[in-house]
Chains A and B, each alone.
Chain A
Amino acid sequence: DTAVSQTPKYLVTQMGNDKSIKCEQNLGHDTMYWYKQDSKKFLKIMFSYNNKELIINETVPNRFSPKSPDKAHLNLHINSLELGDSAVYFCASSQARGWNQETQYFGPGTRLLVL
Chain B
Amino acid sequence: QKEVEQNSGPLSVPEGAIASLNCTYSDRGSQSFFWYRQYSGKSPELIMFIYSNGDKEDGRFTAQLNKASQYVSLLIRDSQPSDSATYLCAVKGQGAQKLVFGQGTRLTINP
**CB atoms of B49 and A90 under 8 A apart:** no
The contact of B98 among A42, A45, A105, A108, by CB within 8 Å, is A45
Q: What is the bound-complex CA distance between A112 and B75, given in angstroms?
A: 34
Q: What is the bound-complex CA distance between A44 and B101, given in angstroms?
A: 7
The contact of A41 among B43, B95, B104, by CB within 8 Å, is B104
Q: What is the bound-complex CA distance between A82 and B97, given in angstroms?
A: 29
Instruction: Give B80-111 interface residues, CB cut-off 8 Å to A.
Output: 86, 88, 92, 95, 97-101, 103-104
The contact of B43 among A48, A102, A108, by CB within 8 Å, is A108
The answer, yes or no, to whether B54 is at the interface (CB within 8 Å) is no
The contact of B32 among A41, A100, A106, by CB within 8 Å, is A100
A55 shortest CB reach to chain B, Å: 6
Known: A43-B101, A45-B98, A99-B95. A106 touches B44 (CB 8 A): yes
Known: A41-B104, A42-B103, A43-B88. A48 touches B97 (CB 8 A): yes
Could you say which residues of chain B place their CB within 8 Å of the CB of A102?
A: 32, 92, 99
**Closest residue to B46 on the A side, CB-wise?**
A103
What is the total of A-B residue contacts with beta carbons within 8 Å? 51
Instruction: Give A40-70 interface residues, CB cut-off 8 Å to B.
Output: 40-45, 48, 50, 55-56, 58
Could you say which residues of chain A place their CB within 8 Å of the CB of B88?
A: 43
**CB atoms of A100 and B45 under 8 A apart:** no
**CB atoms of A41 and B103 under 8 A apart:** yes
Ranked nearest first, the 7 interchain pairs of A and B with the lowest CB-CB distance are A106-B43, A43-B101, A45-B98, A41-B104, A42-B103, A106-B44, A56-B98
List B residues at the A interface (Cβ < 8 Å).
8, 31-32, 34, 38, 42-46, 49, 51, 86, 88, 92, 95, 97-101, 103-104
List A residues at the B interface (Cβ < 8 Å).
40-45, 48, 50, 55-56, 58, 90, 99-109
